Chains A and B, each alone.
Chain A
Amino acid sequence: MADPQIINPNPSPLCNSPLTPQTINGIMVKLLQRYFSDSNNYLNQEIKYTWNSDFKITTIVIEPMNKWEDTAKTTGQRPALMVKRGPYKFEKLGINNKYMSMMKDRFETAVVGSSQILCIGQRNAEVENLAAEAAYYLKHFESVIRQDLKFAAFEAQDIGPCEVMKESKEHFYVPITISYAYLMSWYINPESLIWKATSIIPTVE
Chain B
Amino acid sequence: MPTIPYKLPTSPFKRLIINNAVIGGTSISWELQSQFCDPGPYEFTVQQANDPASDNWEDVNNTPATDVYAIILDTVRRIYDSEFRSFYRVKLESEKGTYISDPAPVTGVWSKKDWLTARQIIKKERLRFQKYVGKYGYLWKKRIFGETCTDCTDFVTQEATNSNCSLCFSTGKKYGYYPPVAIYADMIQPVSLNSVSGKGMHNDMTATARMVAYPYMETEDIWVDVSSDRRYYVGAIQPIASIRGIPIVNQVELRLAPSTDKIYELDATDPYQGELSSSSSNSSSSLYIDPSLSTNSIWVSEQGNIPIWP
B160 near A75: Cβ-Cβ < 8 Å: no
* Nearest B-chain residue to A60, judged by Cβ: B164
* Interface of chain B residues 183 through 235 with chain A (CB within 8 A): 194, 196, 198-204, 220, 232-233, 235
Distance from A1 Cβ to chain B, minimum over Cβ atoms (Å) = 46
CB of A122 closer than 8 Å to a CB of B = yes
Partner of A168, one of B154, B157, B201, B257: B257
A75 near B163: Cβ-Cβ < 8 Å: no
Q: Which of A82, A84, A120, A167 has the most CB of B within 10 A?
A: A167
B201 near A72: Cβ-Cβ < 8 Å: yes
B199 near A168: Cβ-Cβ < 8 Å: no
CB of B255 closer than 8 Å to a CB of A = yes
Distance, CA A168 to CA B204, complexed state (A): 6
Distance, CA A122 to CA B161, complexed state (A): 9
Partner of B255, one of A74, A121, A123, A169: A169
Distance from A115 Cβ to chain B, minimum over Cβ atoms (Å) = 14
CB of B159 closer than 8 Å to a CB of A = yes
Write the A118-147 contact mask toward B (1 if CB under 8 angstroms, else 0).
101111111001000000000000000000
CB of B170 closer than 8 Å to a CB of A = yes
* Nearest A-chain residue to B261, judged by Cβ: A168
CB of A187 closer than 8 Å to a CB of B = no
Partner of A75, one of B162, B165, B172, B202: B202
* Nearest A-chain residue to B170, judged by Cβ: A122
* Interface of chain B residues 32 through 84 with chain A (CB within 8 A): none
Interface residues on B, range: 20 to 34
A49 near B204: Cβ-Cβ < 8 Å: no
Q: Which of A5-13, A61-69, A101-109, A195-203 contacts B (4 or more CB under 8 A)?
A: A61-69
* Nearest A-chain residue to B172, judged by Cβ: A123
CB of A165 closer than 8 Å to a CB of B = yes
Interface residues on A, range: 35 or more
CB of A25 closer than 8 Å to a CB of B = no
Distance, CA A12 to CA B216, complexed state (A): 60
A48 near B199: Cβ-Cβ < 8 Å: no
B255 near A129: Cβ-Cβ < 8 Å: no
Write the A153-189 contact mask toward B (1 if CB under 8 angstroms, else 0).
0000000000001111101010000000000000000
* Interface of chain A residues 57 through 87 with chain B (CB within 8 A): 59, 61, 63, 65-68, 71-72, 74-80, 82, 84
A124 near B200: Cβ-Cβ < 8 Å: no
Distance, CA A67 to CA B196, complexed state (A): 8
* Nearest B-chain residue to A129, judged by Cβ: B161
Q: Which residues of B contact A47 (CB under 8 A)?
A: 161
B200 near A63: Cβ-Cβ < 8 Å: yes
Distance, CA A120 to CA B199, complexed state (A): 8
Distance from A119 Cβ to chain B, minimum over Cβ atoms (Å) = 11
Distance, CA A65 to CA B159, complexed state (A): 28
Distance from B34 Cβ to chain A, minimum over Cβ atoms (Å) = 46
Given contacts A168-B258, A169-B255, 16 further A-B contacts (CB under 8 A): A46-B162, A48-B164, A49-B164, A66-B200, A68-B196, A72-B194, A75-B258, A76-B204, A76-B258, A76-B261, A78-B260, A120-B200, A122-B163, A123-B161, A166-B204, A168-B255
12 inter-chain pairs at a CB distance below 8 angstroms, sorted by A residue, are: A46-B154, A65-B200, A68-B196, A76-B204, A78-B258, A120-B199, A123-B159, A125-B159, A126-B161, A126-B170, A167-B255, A168-B256
